[in-house]
Amino acid sequence: MSVKVEDKELLELELLTQAIKMLYGWDFGQYKKESLRRSANRLASKHNLKNISELIPKLFCNELLLNDLLNCFSIPVTEMFRDPGFFLTLRKKIIPILKTYPFIKIWHVGCASGQEVYSMAILLHEEGMYDRARIYGTDINPLQLKKAKEGIFEVDQLDVYKENYYKSGGKHDLMDYFSLKYDAFIFNNKLRKNIFFFEHNIAQDHAFGEMNLILCRNVLIYFDATLQCRAINLFNESLCFGGALCLGVKESLDFMSINPGLELFDKEWKIYKKGFV
């Protein structure tokens, strides 16, 4: 009796995700299976392996493969002021609300190498709010968090970042916030003091404080329905009354049979509010 290739690969993937969880504590069990299967196949091919199951014994001793696996599964895609229209909407619609609070807490979920976190720091500084804000960036990937803490970015991305910054309503020169060194640019220390990076796994960990603003953009699309519901409920629990949740443009709460109490505030950029201000 022959077994379909897809079924065999899904079984191999199940064994792989179980091994990752047992060895390192990272839980990918509720990520979308097809997305993980494609990533695992690409990874196996890159390391000259014939099938997904051959990745499993390599997890014990091959640090390079483990790093590649984390990056494949956690999808660390980000840039400064990514989707400038979104950040412009934050300036116009969300910042005026946040200005009414004496102290502000912001959580960036799935922050990868930190560009969105540093973008937020710049925005808050330009709006005169940075000194009374705390910005938390979390991710499942410790390798990306290490990069985020360093605040060092490749210079070949600089033109894109500058364009994004100006389109997002930037008020100065983006390089006012960075210093150039060789082939990289480094985020200035003066805007680092209120930024904190932590490892956090949505599939396993609990609510993360009383937040005024939570950004989880283009992360839910990689989760299955069960984990999506868990994530939204966790965000709702982590938001203070009147707080805002920002999702990716292809994400929404439409999949939930029971809305936890988050109201659509901006349809284009999928911004939700908890209750009324």
The token pair at 168 is 């997002």
Ramachandran bin of 162, using left for φ above 0, alpha for ψ from -120 to 50, beta for the remaining angles: alpha
Q: Would you list the domain boundaries of the chain?
A: 5-74, 84-274
Q: What's the pLDDT tens digit per position in 257-277?
A: 777 889 999 999 999 999 854
Amino acid at 240: C
pTM higher than the cut 0.85: yes
CA distances from 39 to 36, 56, 209 (A): 5, 14, 33
Name the architecture of domain 84-274: 3-Layer(aba) Sandwich (3.40)
pLDDT at position 85 over 70: yes
The type of residue at 258 is I
By the 10 Å C-beta count (0-12 exposed, 13-18 middle, 19+ buried), 149 is classed as middle
For residue 207, the model assigns a pLDDT of: 87
Q: Band the pLDDT of 72: cuts 50, 70, 90.
A: confident
